[in-house]
Amino acid sequence: MEYDVDEQTLPTVNGQGAAALALMSRLAVEDAPFGATGVAKVKVTKQGQVRTLVIPIKSIALEDVEKVVAPLRPKVPTYRDNIKGKWVTVTNEADDAYQQRLVAYQKALSHAWVLMALDLDVVDGTGQVVWSRDNTVQQLEVAMKALKDMGLVDGQLVAIFRAVQELTQDVQEQTDSD
């Protein structure tokens, strides 16, 4: 159903005019009407020239990211000890192997966040989609390797991550203020 809208008759909402309003004719999952999109700008130097890549991104929920990396979350090692005559379970967060797994998990978490927020497909060196823009293809380790093979460094990953955080935060703040 389409509506013929006279922008001059639309009300002002939160100080924004008609251009900021979107009159919906339907709500459909495939349209993702509540998802926000934006861009992340990443500087790269190639053959001595500095260029800015403009990468399309979308807001993403933390719960969705956590589902992807949940199998990689390390468990804190524990042991039983008799302390003052009582047996208690003690956690050992200083365990070296646990700390290494925790660092790997945090790296995977930041990559998963960025990969899920990219509004484009990630393709490896063989031409295979290893992470799809709609997040139906999710090969985290392969996609992380593909990004590394593309030359992505931590600073660039952080730039994309920050842009995604800002976009998601803007959506959350707008939702909270409405």
Q: Tens of pLDDT along the chain (178 residues)? A: 344 444 555 444 445 555 555 666 777 777 766 778 899 999 998 899 999 999 999 988 889 999 999 999 999 999 999 999 999 999 999 999 999 999 999 999 999 999 999 999 999 999 999 999 999 999 999 999 999 999 999 999 999 999 998 988 776 666 666 5
Between vectors from CA 69 to CA 63 and to CA 70, what angle results, nearest 5°? 80
The single-letter DSSP state of residue 138 is B
* Residue 1 domain flag: no
Cα–Cα distance between 27 and 111 in angstroms, integer?
Answer: 31
Asked if residue 147 is part of any domain, the answer here is: yes
Alpha carbon distance 150, 147 (integer Å) = 5
Structural domain containing residue 140: 7-177
pLDDT at 35: 74
Tokens in use for 38?
């934006």
Distant-in-sequence, close-in-space partners of 24: CB < 8 Å, separation ≥ 6: 33
Structural domain contains residue 142: yes
Place of tokens 């009582």: 86
Q: Which residue has the tokens 């920050």?
A: 162
> Domains in the chain: how many in total?
1
Task: Evaluate whether 164 touches 59 at the Cβ level (below 8 Å).
Answer: yes
How far from 161 is each of 75, 100, 103, 172, CA to CA, in Å? 26, 22, 17, 16
